[in-house]
Structure 1
Amino acid sequence: MVGLHLLYKILKEKKADMLIKIPRKWFILPEEKKEYKRIVSFLKKYGELPKPPDTYPVGYEDQPVSYYIDEMRKRYAKRVIAKIKTAEVSDETVDKFLNYVNKEVSSLITESYGEYVILPKELPEVAQKVTDVMRKNKVAGLFGYPTGYSLLDLNTGGYIPGDVFVFVARTKAGKTMYSLNSVRKLAKEVPCMFVSMEMPVDSIMRRLLALEFKISNFVSQVRIVSSFVDKDFEKLKLNLTLVNGAYIRDVSDLYSLISFYNPKAVFLDGAYLLNPDKSYRSEWEKAKNIIEELRKLALKTGVALVCTWQLSRQAVKKIAQTGEPEPEHISFTDAVAQSATAVIGIVPDSEPRYKNFFVMCNREGKERIKIKVHWDWETMNFEEADVVEIADT
């Protein structure tokens, strides 16, 4: 019945593109074939999927679409293997049978990677999609989603789906506040997820409220309570899922969350606190595995993955001297700079009420650029200051 479960899930989540990619021959049982034919006929006639049935199929569990596709592929593979084992092949039919085996095995291998492989015949369609996105974002100079900081968008292309964007700073230097300021804007446009590995969700919510309603003296608990009394929280319309990172053990857990909630952008505050799926023998190897696995996660899911990471103690001296940390000053490993599309250092400014975004690494544009941003807890202003400096090289 896995075929019925898959079809129900596709209807429920309105994923017509997934239906097209699933080989018809994978639907083995008569009731599966009948439902598949009904859905495809409806799609061809009306250009959209029919509504899902009012009741779940027998034995249905709410798993990701990819789970059911894997189950379908394995079931069909077992059927092919059974047929090969029991086949009676004569001298006259051996070549024909070998062709059958080659075709089926090749098909299963190709289809198992169907979500990740672009075939030659699909190139024009993919090229058109990429061009459409670039045309749409041409005015903003974006390849991805806006960061909420226009000068940062202009220089990096924004948060690019399938890629990793990293903010790095020393402890209590602004990583969380600037990423929260970014996500609260983006969550008004696309579904987002914010995973806090460093703070309780309640603390994150207080900061979000303070940013959204511009509540001054956020550090004063008395002022917080009095400021929130008359606020209309219904106006806080953010398409945002908050996650307590204490319950996330490793990158696989994060993948499960993304598969279940389907965000377009994921903000991972304190990414270095994750555990990698691979074993490790040192903190350096652990950090390297984390960022590499996060990179693969972004590629596999297609989300824009925004991480925060620590700068090492050595960065403090370097920042004091030049104001410009280097990739080797990222805590535990410089692999972060190798895996991310952009690494933005948050460094002090000569004026305490400002900080600077220092573009340390940037695959889509210039590096060693400083963008001045507000650091004002009194007015909860963490916006851009419209000042850009090109660092000395």
Structure 2
Amino acid sequence: MKNNITHDLFHLCQDEWKWLETYYKKFRKTPTKAAYINNFPDFRIKAVDDTELYVEEVRRAHGRHELTSLIRDAADGIADGDIDSVMARMQSEVLAIGTAMGVVKDVDVIQDWSDIYDSAVTRQKNFKKGGLAGIPTGFSSLDSMTGGLQPGQLWVVAARLSEGKSWFLNQMATSAVLAGHNVHFAALEMQRDEVTFRIHNLMSKHMGDGAIFEAQGLTHGKDVDLKKYKAFLQGMSKSMTNKLTVSDVRGIGIGEIISQIERHQPRLYILDYLTLAKMANDGGWKDIGNFTKQLKDAAGRYGCTIVAAAQLNREGVGKEPASADALAESDSIGQDADAIITLKKKSNRVIKARLAKLRSGQGGYMWWNKFDTTSGDFHEITLDQAEDLMAKDVERAHALEASGGKTA
């Protein structure tokens, strides 16, 4: 039991083990041989002390049983032509089987302290090098509150439509890449070129000769100095050894996500966005809950941070960034998320953000951000700067309306 062996891992003698579990949970001690024989008189008992060997045997036997059953059911489903359902079930259940078989090992952190010490050393090196133990998000207050993106964490960025959540993810990707980390961006809504153009827009603020390459101009094929853009791309590829990989395959599930993580080894994996991913059934709250649990498990198993975008429900419509309660399927997602960030666009160039949940600290903190693609800006600003920008945005809107849309 100390090694997390439960009765559902047994496919022979399940009742016998369940009796042991129940006895121990009730009386907090191992039953006597006499008590056990009284309930199971035909059970053979042997005196052994090599527990770890038999723990592994139980797990392996469980894995064989479950995989055999899964393959048999999959073959039946394939014969019936239900390929999509078979794929969804296999992706979900293979991960569950791996977890039950002990992919994540329990550690005695009192005696086996070397790994945790190595983790502390690595975090201190990162802090001394860049002022942060984790990966920088690109937003100073958020980094200060959280210590950056940490291995094994699941973050969620939520907003209503056109409120800036995809751009927020683009900025997190840009910040991680500039800090020297591998990043994978899984775009389930936009095309690969659109995502890449946005990240180049933000990166051009920090690299090159000062030219800002607007995502809209790159997308529309106008108002772009292609010579300077090519020089920017060449300079970036020469100066950076880390990778930014982008995929735009629609409807990927946990199996494809794990495959991408194994293939590209990202330190940061971004999923845009959560409810567009492929789930086992109809995408209801149970499916979303299972999926976010699988994302959290994958982040822990591969030592990366996963950040996923999500939608806010209608309760999230207001003047301020919403609380975590306004997150669509909030109970399912919030249970597994280590951090939840919500956004509210206050004007054309100002976005207000809230750290709605932080598992390791106090949530509720809010900050202001400048968002301007003409200057490649998406970063934190003060309240005074935000109010000044919002006032100018109102003046711009009035001037544009007065001119019939002919001036910016």
Q: What amino acid does structure 2 have at the position aligned with 1:113?
A: G
Kindly tell me the number of residue pairs found equivalent between the two proteins. 287
User: Is residue 141–residue 157 contact of structure 1 (8 Å, CA) maintained in 2?
Assistant: no
Q: CA distance change for structure 1 residues 357 and 224 in 2, over 3 Å: closer, same or farther? A: farther
Residue in structure 1 matching 2:266, options 247, 252, 263? 263
Q: Which residue of 2 aligns with 1:245?
A: 249
Offset at residue 310 of structure 1 (A): 1.0
Q: Which residue of 1 aligns with 2:293?
A: 292
Residue in structure 2 matching 1:207, options 173, 190, 198? 198
Offset at residue 144 of structure 1 (A): 2.4
* Partner secondary structure for residue 290 of structure 2: helix
User: Is residue 276–residue 293 contact of structure 1 (8 Å, CA) maintained in 2?
Assistant: no
Q: Which residue of 2 aligns with 1:230?
A: 228
Q: CA distance change for structure 1 residues 106 and 208 in 2, over 3 Å: closer, same or farther? A: same
- The CA distance in 2 between the partners of 1:251 and 1:357, in whole Å, is 29
- The CA distance in 1 between the partners of 2:220 and 2:303, in whole Å, is 43
Q: Which residue of 1 aligns with 2:329?
A: 332
User: Is residue 176–residue 308 contact of structure 1 (8 Å, CA) maintained in 2?
Assistant: yes
User: Is residue 164–residue 345 contact of structure 2 (8 Å, CA) maintained in 1?
Assistant: no
Residue in structure 2 matching 1:106, options 37, 41, 55? 55
Query: What are the within-5 Å matches in structure 2 for residues 73-152 of structure 1?
Result: 99=48, 104-108=53-57, 113=102, 115-119=104-108, 123-138=112-127, 142-152=132-142
Q: Which residue of 1 aligns with 2:15?
A: none
- The CA distance in 1 between the partners of 2:323 and 2:188, in whole Å, is 24
- The CA distance in 2 between the partners of 1:264 and 1:122, in whole Å, is 29
Offset at residue 163 of structure 1 (A): 1.0
User: Is residue 151–residue 299 contact of structure 2 (8 Å, CA) maintained in 1?
Assistant: yes
TM-score, structure 1 normalization: 0.65
* Partner secondary structure for residue 246 of structure 1: coil
Q: CA distance change for structure 1 residues 303 and 109 in 2, over 3 Å: closer, same or farther? A: farther
Q: CA distance change for structure 1 residues 185 and 256 in 2, over 3 Å: closer, same or farther? A: same
User: Is residue 159–residue 306 contact of structure 1 (8 Å, CA) maintained in 2?
Assistant: no
Query: What are the within-5 Å matches in structure 2 for residues 1-393 of structure 1?
Result: 99=48, 104-108=53-57, 113=102, 115-119=104-108, 123-138=112-127, 142-188=132-178, 189-214=180-205, 215=212, 218-220=215-217, 224=222, 226-231=224-229, 232=231, 233-237=233-237, 239-246=243-250, 248=252, 250-277=253-280, 279=281, 283-316=284-317, 319-320=318-319, 323-349=320-346, 351-386=347-382
1:179-216 CA distances to partner (integer Å, 9 max, x unpaired)?
11221221231111111111010111121222222436
- The CA distance in 2 between the partners of 1:375 and 1:365, in whole Å, is 27
* Partner secondary structure for residue 377 of structure 2: coil
Question: Aligned residues: percent identity?
Answer: 21
Q: CA distance change for structure 1 residues 342 and 98 in 2, over 3 Å: closer, same or farther? A: same
Root mean square deviation of aligned Cα: 3.0
Offset at residue 137 of structure 1 (A): 4.4
Q: CA distance change for structure 1 residues 190 and 244 in 2, over 3 Å: closer, same or farther? A: same
User: Is residue 200–residue 215 contact of structure 2 (8 Å, CA) maintained in 1?
Assistant: no
Offset at residue 345 of structure 1 (A): 0.6
- The CA distance in 1 between the partners of 2:164 and 2:153, in whole Å, is 22
Where does the alignment leave 5 or more consecutive residues of structure 2 unmatched?
A: 1-43, 61-100, 206-211, 385-408
TM-score, structure 2 normalization: 0.63
* Partner secondary structure for residue 189 of structure 2: coil
- The CA distance in 1 between the partners of 2:109 and 2:172, in whole Å, is 38
1:69-100 CA distances to partner (integer Å, 9 max, x unpaired)?
xxxxxxxxxxxxxxxxxxxxxxxxx99x9749
- The CA distance in 2 between the partners of 1:228 and 1:196, in whole Å, is 25
Q: Which residue of 1 aligns with 2:396?
A: none
* Partner secondary structure for residue 368 of structure 2: strand
Where does the alignment leave 5 or more consecutive residues of structure 1 unmatched?
A: 1-93, 389-393
